[in-house]
Structure 1
Amino acid sequence: MKRRTAREKAFQALFQMITTNLDKQHAMDYVLEEEENDDFLISLVEGVTSHQQELDELIVDNLENWSLDRLPKVEKTVLRIAVYELKFEEETPTQVAINEAVELAKTFGDEASGKFVNGVLSKMG
Protein backbone atom coordinates (compact mmCIF):
# COMPACT_ATOMS: atom_id res chain seq x y z
CA MET A 1 0.00 0.00 0.00
CA LYS A 2 1.34 3.44 -0.88
CA ARG A 3 1.96 5.81 2.00
CA ARG A 4 -0.67 8.26 0.74
CA THR A 5 -3.25 5.46 0.76
CA ALA A 6 -2.10 4.38 4.23
CA ARG A 7 -2.56 7.98 5.46
CA GLU A 8 -6.06 8.10 3.98
CA LYS A 9 -6.97 4.79 5.60
CA ALA A 10 -5.44 5.94 8.91
CA PHE A 11 -7.50 9.14 8.70
CA GLN A 12 -10.66 7.12 8.07
CA ALA A 13 -9.96 4.74 10.95
CA LEU A 14 -9.14 7.55 13.40
CA PHE A 15 -12.17 9.53 12.24
CA GLN A 16 -14.37 6.46 12.80
CA MET A 17 -12.95 6.14 16.31
CA ILE A 18 -13.90 9.71 17.28
CA THR A 19 -17.35 9.61 15.66
CA THR A 20 -18.39 6.10 16.76
CA ASN A 21 -17.43 3.70 19.51
CA LEU A 22 -15.19 1.53 17.35
CA ASP A 23 -11.88 0.44 18.85
CA LYS A 24 -8.63 0.65 16.87
CA GLN A 25 -8.72 -2.84 15.43
CA HIS A 26 -12.35 -2.70 14.34
CA ALA A 27 -11.84 0.76 12.83
CA MET A 28 -8.83 -0.46 10.84
CA ASP A 29 -10.65 -3.62 9.74
CA TYR A 30 -13.60 -1.49 8.65
CA VAL A 31 -11.54 0.84 6.45
CA LEU A 32 -9.36 -1.93 5.05
CA GLU A 33 -12.34 -4.08 4.07
CA GLU A 34 -10.56 -7.03 2.45
CA GLU A 35 -7.17 -5.34 1.91
CA GLU A 36 -3.99 -6.44 3.63
CA ASN A 37 -2.95 -4.61 6.75
CA ASP A 38 -0.12 -2.13 6.24
CA ASP A 39 2.74 -1.41 8.68
CA PHE A 40 2.64 2.34 8.05
CA LEU A 41 -1.14 2.45 8.54
CA ILE A 42 -0.82 0.53 11.80
CA SER A 43 2.03 2.80 12.91
CA LEU A 44 -0.07 5.93 12.29
CA VAL A 45 -3.20 4.67 14.03
CA GLU A 46 -1.29 3.18 16.97
CA GLY A 47 0.96 6.23 17.25
CA VAL A 48 -1.83 8.80 17.13
CA THR A 49 -3.93 6.94 19.69
CA SER A 50 -1.06 6.26 22.10
CA HIS A 51 0.33 9.83 21.90
CA GLN A 52 -2.97 11.67 21.53
CA GLN A 53 -2.64 13.85 24.63
CA GLU A 54 0.86 14.98 23.68
CA LEU A 55 -0.21 15.59 20.06
CA ASP A 56 -3.23 17.60 21.19
CA GLU A 57 -1.02 19.78 23.42
CA LEU A 58 1.28 20.52 20.48
CA ILE A 59 -1.71 21.37 18.29
CA VAL A 60 -3.21 23.68 20.93
CA ASP A 61 0.13 25.48 21.28
CA ASN A 62 -0.07 26.38 17.58
CA LEU A 63 -3.75 27.33 17.27
CA GLU A 64 -4.79 30.97 17.03
CA ASN A 65 -8.29 31.90 18.15
CA TRP A 66 -9.33 28.23 18.28
CA SER A 67 -9.63 25.65 21.01
CA LEU A 68 -9.21 21.94 20.39
CA ASP A 69 -12.86 21.38 21.33
CA ARG A 70 -14.04 23.79 18.62
CA LEU A 71 -11.95 22.24 15.85
CA PRO A 72 -13.97 20.28 13.29
CA LYS A 73 -13.28 16.53 13.46
CA VAL A 74 -11.69 16.46 9.99
CA GLU A 75 -9.10 19.10 10.84
CA LYS A 76 -8.47 17.64 14.30
CA THR A 77 -7.86 14.17 12.87
CA VAL A 78 -5.61 15.42 10.05
CA LEU A 79 -3.58 17.54 12.46
CA ARG A 80 -3.11 14.63 14.86
CA ILE A 81 -1.76 12.44 12.05
CA ALA A 82 0.54 15.17 10.73
CA VAL A 83 1.89 16.14 14.14
CA TYR A 84 2.51 12.47 14.90
CA GLU A 85 4.48 12.17 11.66
CA LEU A 86 6.43 15.36 12.34
CA LYS A 87 7.34 14.30 15.86
CA PHE A 88 7.71 10.51 15.67
CA GLU A 89 8.16 9.36 12.05
CA GLU A 90 11.76 10.42 11.49
CA GLU A 91 11.90 9.07 7.93
CA THR A 92 9.06 11.38 6.79
CA PRO A 93 10.48 14.77 5.73
CA THR A 94 8.74 17.76 7.33
CA GLN A 95 7.50 19.18 4.02
CA VAL A 96 6.10 15.80 2.96
CA ALA A 97 4.16 15.46 6.22
CA ILE A 98 2.74 18.98 5.81
CA ASN A 99 1.86 18.53 2.12
CA GLU A 100 0.20 15.17 2.75
CA ALA A 101 -1.82 16.65 5.63
CA VAL A 102 -3.02 19.53 3.45
CA GLU A 103 -4.09 17.05 0.76
CA LEU A 104 -5.93 14.92 3.33
CA ALA A 105 -7.70 18.02 4.64
CA LYS A 106 -8.75 19.01 1.12
CA THR A 107 -9.93 15.47 0.34
CA PHE A 108 -12.00 14.97 3.48
CA GLY A 109 -12.79 18.60 4.29
CA ASP A 110 -12.81 21.57 1.95
CA GLU A 111 -10.41 24.17 0.54
CA ALA A 112 -10.54 26.12 3.81
CA SER A 113 -9.57 22.95 5.68
CA GLY A 114 -6.37 22.65 3.66
CA LYS A 115 -5.41 26.27 4.30
CA PHE A 116 -6.17 25.95 8.01
CA VAL A 117 -4.10 22.77 8.40
CA ASN A 118 -1.24 24.31 6.43
CA GLY A 119 -1.27 27.39 8.68
CA VAL A 120 -1.16 25.38 11.90
CA LEU A 121 1.54 22.98 10.68
CA SER A 122 3.69 25.76 9.17
CA LYS A 123 4.10 27.19 12.66
CA MET A 124 5.41 23.84 13.87
CA GLY A 125 7.70 23.03 10.96
Structure 2
Amino acid sequence: MGRKQAREGTMKLLYQMEVNEDYSDDNMRVFFQNFLYDESEKEYIEDAVLTIKNNLEEIDNNMISHLQGWSINRLAKVDLAVLRIAIYEILYRKDIPIEVSINEAIEIVKKYSTEESFKFINGVLGGFVRSRDIK
Protein backbone atom coordinates (compact mmCIF):
# COMPACT_ATOMS: atom_id res chain seq x y z
CA MET A 1 0.00 0.00 0.00
CA GLY A 2 2.92 2.35 0.47
CA ARG A 3 2.58 5.82 1.88
CA LYS A 4 -1.07 5.45 2.94
CA GLN A 5 -0.18 2.36 4.99
CA ALA A 6 2.85 4.17 6.42
CA ARG A 7 0.75 7.19 7.48
CA GLU A 8 -1.74 4.93 9.23
CA GLY A 9 1.11 3.10 10.95
CA THR A 10 2.60 6.42 12.03
CA MET A 11 -0.76 7.49 13.43
CA LYS A 12 -1.10 4.22 15.36
CA LEU A 13 2.41 4.48 16.79
CA LEU A 14 2.01 8.16 17.75
CA TYR A 15 -1.37 7.35 19.30
CA GLN A 16 0.19 4.55 21.34
CA MET A 17 3.09 6.77 22.42
CA GLU A 18 0.79 9.60 23.44
CA VAL A 19 -1.60 7.39 25.39
CA ASN A 20 1.28 5.68 27.20
CA GLU A 21 3.30 8.90 27.51
CA ASP A 22 6.26 6.94 26.17
CA TYR A 23 8.07 8.35 23.14
CA SER A 24 11.07 6.06 23.55
CA ASP A 25 12.92 4.33 20.73
CA ASP A 26 12.17 1.07 22.53
CA ASN A 27 8.46 1.69 22.02
CA MET A 28 9.07 2.06 18.28
CA ARG A 29 11.14 -1.15 18.21
CA VAL A 30 8.33 -3.11 19.89
CA PHE A 31 5.82 -1.60 17.43
CA PHE A 32 7.83 -2.90 14.47
CA GLN A 33 8.11 -6.32 16.08
CA ASN A 34 4.32 -6.54 16.19
CA PHE A 35 3.38 -4.99 12.82
CA LEU A 36 4.85 -5.75 9.42
CA TYR A 37 5.78 -2.94 7.03
CA ASP A 38 7.91 -2.97 3.92
CA GLU A 39 11.19 -1.08 4.01
CA SER A 40 9.88 2.18 2.49
CA GLU A 41 6.91 2.23 4.89
CA LYS A 42 9.21 1.58 7.84
CA GLU A 43 11.55 4.39 6.72
CA TYR A 44 8.62 6.82 6.49
CA ILE A 45 7.30 5.83 9.94
CA GLU A 46 10.73 6.11 11.56
CA ASP A 47 11.45 9.48 9.94
CA ALA A 48 8.01 10.83 10.79
CA VAL A 49 8.03 9.72 14.42
CA LEU A 50 11.60 10.85 15.07
CA THR A 51 11.09 14.22 13.36
CA ILE A 52 7.80 14.80 15.19
CA LYS A 53 9.37 13.78 18.51
CA ASN A 54 12.40 16.05 17.97
CA ASN A 55 10.26 19.01 16.82
CA LEU A 56 7.15 18.43 18.94
CA GLU A 57 7.06 21.93 20.41
CA GLU A 58 7.25 23.62 16.99
CA ILE A 59 4.68 21.26 15.46
CA ASP A 60 2.28 21.65 18.39
CA ASN A 61 2.68 25.45 18.45
CA ASN A 62 1.77 25.58 14.76
CA MET A 63 -1.29 23.48 15.52
CA ILE A 64 -2.36 25.30 18.70
CA SER A 65 -2.64 28.66 16.99
CA HIS A 66 -5.36 27.21 14.71
CA LEU A 67 -7.43 25.17 17.18
CA GLN A 68 -9.94 28.00 17.72
CA GLY A 69 -11.38 27.44 21.16
CA TRP A 70 -9.85 24.03 21.73
CA SER A 71 -6.82 23.11 23.77
CA ILE A 72 -4.43 20.43 22.64
CA ASN A 73 -5.34 18.39 25.74
CA ARG A 74 -9.00 18.20 24.68
CA LEU A 75 -8.27 16.74 21.26
CA ALA A 76 -8.98 13.11 20.56
CA LYS A 77 -5.64 11.29 20.50
CA VAL A 78 -6.26 10.05 16.95
CA ASP A 79 -6.95 13.60 15.77
CA LEU A 80 -3.85 14.86 17.58
CA ALA A 81 -1.66 12.21 15.94
CA VAL A 82 -3.11 12.93 12.49
CA LEU A 83 -2.60 16.69 12.86
CA ARG A 84 1.00 16.15 13.95
CA ILE A 85 1.65 13.94 10.90
CA ALA A 86 0.12 16.43 8.47
CA ILE A 87 2.01 19.39 9.95
CA TYR A 88 5.21 17.32 9.92
CA GLU A 89 4.70 16.62 6.22
CA ILE A 90 3.94 20.25 5.41
CA LEU A 91 6.93 21.59 7.35
CA TYR A 92 9.55 18.92 6.73
CA ARG A 93 8.62 16.86 3.66
CA LYS A 94 8.92 19.03 0.59
CA ASP A 95 8.49 15.89 -1.55
CA ILE A 96 4.83 15.63 -0.50
CA PRO A 97 2.37 18.20 -1.89
CA ILE A 98 0.44 20.08 0.79
CA GLU A 99 -2.88 19.03 -0.75
CA VAL A 100 -1.90 15.36 -0.46
CA SER A 101 -0.96 15.78 3.23
CA ILE A 102 -4.32 17.41 3.99
CA ASN A 103 -6.33 14.90 1.96
CA GLU A 104 -4.58 11.92 3.57
CA ALA A 105 -5.15 13.39 7.05
CA ILE A 106 -8.84 13.72 6.30
CA GLU A 107 -9.04 10.14 4.97
CA ILE A 108 -7.35 8.75 8.10
CA VAL A 109 -9.68 10.55 10.51
CA LYS A 110 -12.70 9.46 8.47
CA LYS A 111 -11.52 5.89 8.98
CA TYR A 112 -10.36 6.04 12.62
CA SER A 113 -12.07 8.97 14.35
CA THR A 114 -15.51 10.49 14.79
CA GLU A 115 -17.86 11.49 11.99
CA GLU A 116 -17.22 15.19 12.55
CA SER A 117 -13.44 15.02 12.98
CA PHE A 118 -12.62 15.42 9.30
CA LYS A 119 -14.22 18.88 9.25
CA PHE A 120 -12.22 19.93 12.30
CA ILE A 121 -8.95 18.53 10.86
CA ASN A 122 -9.61 20.25 7.53
CA GLY A 123 -10.25 23.57 9.29
CA VAL A 124 -7.12 23.40 11.45
CA LEU A 125 -4.88 22.41 8.55
CA GLY A 126 -6.50 24.96 6.23
CA GLY A 127 -5.85 27.73 8.76
CA PHE A 128 -2.28 26.55 9.22
CA VAL A 129 -1.57 26.52 5.48
CA ARG A 130 -3.21 29.92 4.92
CA SER A 131 -1.14 31.46 7.73
CA ARG A 132 2.04 30.10 6.10
CA ASP A 133 1.05 31.63 2.77
CA ILE A 134 0.73 35.06 4.41
CA LYS A 135 4.21 35.03 5.92
With normalisation by structure 2, the TM-score equals 0.83
Equivalent position of 2:9 in the other structure: 9
Confirm or deny: 8 A CA contact 1:85 1:92 kept in the other structure.
yes
Equivalent position of 1:61 in the other structure: 65
Please give the per-residue CA displacement for 1:71-107, whole angstroms capped at 9, x wherever unaligned.
1111111100110001001101000000000111111
The one of 88, 106, 110 aligned to 1:106: 110
Residue type of the partner of 1:6? Answer: A
Residue type of the partner of 2:97? Answer: P
Equivalent position of 1:81 in the other structure: 85
Q: Does 1:94 align with 2:98?
A: yes
C-alpha displacement of 1:70: 1.1
Whose Rg is larger? 2
Q: Which moved more, 1:37-46 or 1:2-11?
A: 37-46
Q: Which has the higher contact order (CA 8 A, sep 6+)?
A: 2
Residue type of the partner of 1:59? Answer: M
Aligned residues: 123
Residue type of the partner of 1:100? Answer: E
Report sequence identity in percent: 33
Evaluate the alpha carbon distance shift between residue 35 and residue 84 of structure 1 in structure 2; reply closer, same or farther with a 3 A threshold. closer
Cα separation, 2, equivalents of 1:24 and 1:96: 25
Gaps of 5+ in 1: none
Evaluate the alpha carbon distance shift between residue 57 and residue 29 of structure 1 in structure 2; reply closer, same or farther with a 3 A threshold. farther
Evaluate the alpha carbon distance shift between residue 86 and residue 35 of structure 1 in structure 2; reply closer, same or farther with a 3 A threshold. closer
Gaps of 5+ in 2: 130-135
Residue type of the partner of 2:17? Answer: M
Q: What's the Cα RMSD here?
A: 1.6
Residue type of the partner of 1:48? Answer: I
